[in-house]
A and B are shown apart, each in its own frame.
Chain A
Amino acid sequence: MTATLAPPGAPPPTDAPAHGAPGGGARRRGPRASAGVVAFWCAAVAVPLLFLGVFFAWPVVVMVGRGFVVDGALDLSGFVDVFSRPRTWRIVGLTLAQASIATVVSVGLGVPGAYVLYRRTFRGRTAVRALVTVPFVLPTVVVGVAFRSLLVDGGPLGFLRLDGTFAAIVAALVFFNYAVVVRAVGGLWERLDPRAEQAARALGASPWRALRTVTLPALAPAIASAASLVFLFCATAFGTVLVLGGMRFGTIETEIWVQTTQFLDLRAAAVLSVVQLVVVAGALLVAGRARARRERALTLSEPVTAVRPLTLRRPAGVPRGDGHGLDLAAAALTAVVVALLALPLVNLVVRSLRTDDGWGLDHYAALATPADTLGVSALDATVTSLRVALDATVLALVVGGLVALVVSRRPRRTVGRHAVAGLDALFMLPLGVSAVTVGFGFLLSMHRPFGLDLDLRTSAVLVPVAQAVVAVPLVVRTVLPVLRALDPRLREAAATLGSGPGRVLATVDLPVAARSLGLAVGFAFAASLGEFGATSFLARPDRPTLPVVIFRLIGRPGEHHYEMALAASVVLAVLTAGVVAACERLRASSPGGDW
Chain B
Amino acid sequence: MTGLQVRDVVVRYPAGRRDVTTAVDGVSLDVAPGEVVALLGPSGCGKSSLLRAVAGLEPLAAGSVAFDGEPVDDVPVHRRGFGLMFQDGQLFAHRDVAGNVAYGLAGRRTAGRGSGQGRGDDGRPWAAGDRAAQVDALLDLVGLGGYGPRPVATLSGGERQRVALARALAPRPRLLLLDEPLSALDRSLRERLAVDLRAALVATRTTAVLVTHDQDEAFAVADRVAVMDRGRLLQVGTPADLWHRPAGRRVAEFLGYEAFVPVDADAAQPLRRALDDRGRGVGAGAVLALAEGAFVVDAARGAGARGSVRAAGGAVAGAAEVAGAGGVGAQVEDGAVKGTVLGVTSRRGRSEVRVDVDGIGAVTALAPVGVRLDPGSVVALSVEADAVAALPLDGTA
Contacts and interface: CB of A to CB of B under 8 A. Distances in A.
Given A202-B78, A202-B168, A315-B59, A195 B73 contact: no
A299 B88 CA distance: 9
A504 to B, nearest CB: 32
Interface in A537-568: none
Nearest to A316: B59
Contacts of A309: 14
A410 to B, nearest CB: 20
A202 B177 contact: yes
A296 B93 contact: yes
A227 B93 CA distance: 22
A298 B93 contact: yes
Given A317-B59, A319-B74, A205 B93 contact: no
A319 B76 contact: yes
A320 B86 contact: no
Interface in A299-346: 299, 309, 315-323
Nearest to A210: B78
Given A299-B88, A316-B59, A322-B56, A203 B104 contact: yes
B86 A322 contact: no
Contact of A204 (B55, B93, B104): B104
B153 interface: yes
B108 interface: yes
Interface string A188-210: 00000101101111111111001
Interface string B87-112: 01010111000000001101110000
B90 A193 contact: yes
Interface in B124-177: 152-153, 164, 167-168, 170-171, 173, 177
Contacts of B59: 315-318
Contacts of B14: 309
Q: Is the interface of B mostly helix, strand, loop or mixed?
A: loop
Contacts, number: 94
B31 interface: no
Given A201-B77, A202-B77, A213-B103, A195 B90 contact: yes
Given A205-B103, A319-B56, A322-B56, A199 B78 contact: no
A200 B177 contact: no
- Number of chain B interface residues as a range: 35 or more
Contact of A321 (B79, B103, B152): B79
Contacts of B152: 297
B61 interface: yes
A101 interface: no
Given A202-B78, A213-B103, A317 B90 contact: no
A300 to B, nearest CB: 12
B186 to A, nearest CB: 19
B82 interface: yes
B75 interface: yes
A174 to B, nearest CB: 28
B83 interface: yes
Most chain-B CB neighbours within 10 Å: which of A195, A199, A203?
A: A203
A297 B170 contact: no
A297 B86 contact: no
A214 interface: yes
B60 interface: yes
A48 B255 CA distance: 63
Interface in B42-80: 55-57, 59-61, 73-79
A505 to B, nearest CB: 34
A576 to B, nearest CB: 33
Nearest to B59: A317
B23 interface: no
Interface in A367-398: none
Contacts of A195: 86, 90
B4 interface: no
A218 interface: yes
Nearest to A315: B59
Nearest to B58: A317
Nearest to B14: A309
Given A198-B84, A204-B171, A217 B103 contact: no
A322 B77 contact: yes
Contacts of B60: 317
Contacts of B93: 218, 296-298
A321 B76 contact: yes
Contacts of A214: 92
Nearest to B52: A198
A198 B57 contact: yes
Nearest to A203: B104
Contacts of A207: 76, 78
Nearest to B55: A202
Nearest to A206: B78
B103 to A, nearest CB: 5
B90 A320 contact: no
A204 B103 CA distance: 9
B84 A199 contact: yes
Nearest to A200: B103
Contacts of A297: 93, 152-153
B77 A217 contact: no
Interface in A268-320: 296-299, 309, 315-320
A386 to B, nearest CB: 40
A204 B152 CA distance: 21
A196 B74 CA distance: 23
B167 A203 contact: yes
24 contacts: A193-B90, A195-B86, A196-B90, A198-B55, A199-B167, A199-B168, A200-B103, A201-B57, A201-B77, A202-B55, A202-B77, A202-B173, A203-B78, A204-B78, A204-B171, A205-B78, A213-B92, A217-B92, A316-B59, A317-B61, A319-B56, A321-B76, A321-B79, A323-B76
Interface of B: 14, 55-57, 59-61, 73-79, 81-86, 88, 90, 92-94, 103-104, 106-108, 152-153, 164, 167-168, 170-171, 173, 177
The 3 closest A-B pairs by CB, nearest first: A317-B59, A203-B104, A202-B84
Given A202-B77, A203-B83, 17 more contacts: A193-B90, A198-B55, A198-B77, A199-B167, A200-B92, A203-B104, A203-B171, A206-B78, A210-B78, A213-B103, A217-B92, A217-B94, A299-B90, A316-B59, A317-B73, A319-B75, A320-B74
